[in-house]
Every structure is written in C-alpha cells, then in structure tokens.
A and B are shown apart, each in its own frame.
Chain A
C-alpha cells in the first residue's frame, strides 16, 4: 500500500508564506493498493484538485478511470475540492462516493448541494463523469476490490466517519475529524464549549465510540489521525471537534498501531511550530515504539 498526501490542513486552506513546507491545502489523501487498479481517495478537500490534475495524465484523461472516494463528513474543508476535481469533468470516468448522509439529507443530496447555483456555476448532477453514492454505517464493514473497508464512528459535530482499509495483511486507517472522548459529546445543535460534567448517557455513548475505535484500529500499520490542536488549544476550543497528538497517541497505544501520522494541522500552525509538535510527540511515543510523522503535502508513506 502507498499513501500520497495531497492536502493536510484543517478547517480552511491556507495560502501563507509560513506554511509552505507542510502545505496549505485541506484534507485529501490518495491510497494505492497493490493488485487494485482503482485509486482510493480519502476526502475531497482542496488537495484533491492537484490529485485530479495528476490523474488526468493517465486513464482518467481518456475517460477510462474508476476511483473510490471515501468522505469522512461533509464540512467544507473535506468536500470543497470536489467541484474542481478534473476527473469529474471527463465523461466516461466513474467516481464511487462513500459516506454517510443525515436525517432527510441523504449523501447524494448533501454532496451535490455544494454545487447549488448560489455556490458554483455548474451543478454536480450535470458533471460528465458518472458519480455513484453509497451510504455506509459505522462498524459495518464493506468489501470492494478485495479490500475490507471498516467505517468507524468519530466524535465530531454532526458526526464523522473514520475508515480502516485492509488487504494482503497490510492496513491503513484514516481517523479525522474527531475530538477526544472524555470532555464532550456533540449535541444536535451548536454549542460554545464543553459541559461542566458529562451525563451518564453521554459518558456511556462516548465510551462505546472509543471502544469501537480502538478495536477498529487494532494492530493497524498506519493510523492517520486528527491532531489539529495542542493541549492548550483544545482546552479553549473543545466544541469544534478536533483532537490532539497526546490523545491520538493514547488511542494508537491501546490499539497497538505501528505508525501515527499527525494530520489536519491547524490553519494557524506555522511550519516551525509543526516541527516542534512532531518532535514533542515523538518523545512521548518513543517508549511505546510507535513511529510518528507529521503529514506534509507531497509526502508518501509506503507500507511493504
């Protein structure tokens, strides 16, 4: 398996001189799996536009490509690249979109909604490529191309899904966006902070979510995890639904994962600050034998 990072930034794309090394594009990762000629794409943040240009050089340029796109959720930073994804504009290509819609707004409707006339000149339903939408559910594995795909429930406003991909004894998990599981369980409305104390019901639901996540990540070769915040930032902003490196390490340690990729960097995090986060997290991780790296635009991770 091979991961290629096309966008690593959280919340919004950043065009700044202080983020040139790690990159400013939002979430998008390409996963190539040996024996599978269909690229897997994790989220459609702004990074997907550059991926699209690369794919157009091959079969997608001739309208003969097929790919699978797995959406963690539909917040703008995870979908806003999709209308600008070159392969979607070439007839004959097939794009299978996986994700989860919500009450009364199925995946298809919610995703195509980003190109309503007030937001984009052309509706996604008239893009030349064939787009198919498949709703998935947490903890219910599916199979495609001989790959086992396990969706996992995450702790984020309006919900988000993580995914684990297994084939030929190798595994990669994509876990974003998520908050830790001990301070807040997001209600179905906007909140401006965490509650003073969790209710018994919330505590139990969060415990269940965490248990399923740890089980789902068990022994994974690579875990890509939302580590947007430092501990101090999380204290201030628990209500936006993001995690910290310490929390990610705690989950990886329990799951006995081998490698942690820090991901979804805060938009204000400069390259130098991200270097420090990497160094600090490596120190914490060394005793557990977990390899730590910060995702960087253009970076590749090869797994056997």
Chain B
C-alpha cells in the first residue's frame, strides 16, 4: 500500500516561498494498492493529482477509483470543480462522504457547485460517471481496501475518520478532529497498532483552547492517540495556513522532545510512503 500526500495544509491554501517544503495545497491524500486507488478528501491538492491521473490514463492507466471525504468543509472539497477526472467523460468515480445539515452527498456537492458559486451550474455537469453516496460508520470493502469508518467530533459537527488496510498494512487517517479532553474510543480503535497514523495537528495546545469549537487537534492530541493506540509512525497533518516551514520544523523538534522514541514527522506534499508488501498476484 502506498500513501502519497498531495495537499497537507488545513483550512486555507498557503502559497508562497515560506511553505514550499511542507506544501501549501489543502487536504488531499492518495492511497494505492495494486490496481485499487482511494483518494481521501478533495482540497486543492487533488488538482495536481487529477493532472497526474489524466497523464497515467493517457498511457493506459485505470480511470476508475473511489474518493472518501472526511467531511465537506470547503478545504476538503474545493478542488473538485478543477479535478480533471471529474470533468471529462470516461472516468468512473465513486465519491463517499458524510451527509451534513440534512443534505446527502449529492445535495452538498450540488449546492457547492450551484450557479451562484460555480460556472458548472451543478454537480450533474461534471462529465465523469459519478456515483455519490452518503457514508456512515461501518466496516466496508472499497475495491482492494478494507475500510473502517468512524465518526469523530469536529467542532459543532462530525468528521469521519478512516482506517484503511491492504497488503498486510494499516493506515489511520484522522483529520479535522477536536477531542475536548480524552480522545474518544473511536479514535483509538482506528489507530490501533497502525503502521501509519496521519493526524490533524493544526492548533497548538494554547490555540485549541482559544479556538475551542472550531474543530481541530494539537500535536499533543496526535501524540496521545499514537501512544495510546500503539501506532508505529505518526505524521502530523492539516497544518495551520500561517505555519511556515521553519515554524513547522520547530514545532516538530518540540513535539519529538515530548515523545522520545516515537517516529514523528510532518506530512509533506509530494511524499510517498510505502506500507506493507504488495499482494502476490496469482
């Protein structure tokens, strides 16, 4: 199983020289195993991903994959209208995400692309074959991946957290989460003994208090989940849009001192991580 980060920035894009190493695109991560591909969230990072997929497809690559949205706040869907595979016929894309405020997946995305906000005039004008489904808690199979879906608290709403298993490896994806005091059992269940935990770490501990209710975690929260769940490697994710590369380096140094022996880094745009072994094909 391969995990590739296309967008690691939270809330708002961060263009500019100060953000070149950790990256400025908003949330998007690609997971592949064999012929299966799963895209997690559709922030602006999905725009370069879409261009790459179109390039692969031109050389015979697959035009079929699934997308799972942790939730539909704008930094997690803003790339969709510019995501090439969604815009051209011939692609077959399944998009799954949580219903919100009484709208199902079709309703939410249609409202984001209504003619006031988008020259697409609605989700039906995305030319790919799209299957839009609302996603609930559960244990499901998505192509070659076993996926555990759990609801996690995100400010005044919920976000979905995922545990993805393939090739004998496990990857937990917990973004846009705010715990209050203790991480909920669902967070620990998703991260249990995971080979890789990717966790929201947008706010410092002080900011979590000040911005209480806006739905984000601190690096300390991430470390606590990693430690209690026994995750083998932790990558901080959903970086604050004002956190420059040097500030991110300093934050990591500080966090590593609080968790000696733990493998911790910041998720960086463009990084590819290989987990487990590819399945042997018969």
> Could you tell me which A residues sit within 8 Å of B by CB distance?
11-17, 19-20, 23-25, 46, 49, 74-76, 79-80, 84, 102, 105, 110, 113-114, 116-122, 156-158, 188-190, 239-241, 267
Contacts and interface: CB of A to CB of B under 8 A. Distances in A.
Interface residues of B, number: 45
A120 B73 contact: yes
B44 A117 contact: no
Contacts, number: 115
A35 B214 CA distance: 40
Contact of A15 (B14, B73, B74): B14
A244 B77 CA distance: 29
Contacts of A14: 13, 15, 44
A105 B69 CA distance: 28
Contacts of B74: 76, 80, 114, 119-120
B33 interface: no
A157 B121 CA distance: 9
B13 A118 contact: no
B142 to A, nearest CB: 23
B122 A118 contact: no
B15 A121 contact: no
Given A11-B82, A121-B157, A121-B214, A116 B101 contact: yes
B160 to A, nearest CB: 14
Contacts of B79: 12
Q: Is the interface of A mostly helix, strand, loop or mixed?
A: loop
Contacts of A23: 15-16
B12 to A, nearest CB: 6
Contacts of B9: 15
A158 B115 contact: yes
Interface of B: 9, 11-17, 19-20, 23-25, 44, 47, 72-74, 77-79, 81-82, 100-101, 103, 108, 111-112, 115-122, 125, 155-157, 213-215, 241
A118 B12 contact: no
Contacts of A17: 20
Given A11-B82, A188-B115, 11 more contacts: A12-B44, A15-B13, A15-B23, A16-B15, A49-B12, A76-B74, A118-B73, A121-B73, A157-B115, A157-B119, A158-B115
Contacts of B213: 121
A114 to B, nearest CB: 7
B56 to A, nearest CB: 19
A190 B122 contact: yes
- Residue from B16, B100, B215 with most neighbouring chain A CB atoms (10 Å): B16
6 contacts: A15-B13, A76-B81, A80-B78, A113-B116, A121-B156, A239-B119
A118 B158 CA distance: 10
B116 to A, nearest CB: 5
Contacts of A84: 11-12
A241 to B, nearest CB: 6
Contacts of A25: 13, 15
Contact of A190 (B11, B125, B157): B125
A121 B125 contact: no
Nearest to B13: A13
A108 to B, nearest CB: 12
A13 B47 CA distance: 11
A74 B116 contact: yes
Given A17-B20, A80-B74, A75 B119 contact: yes
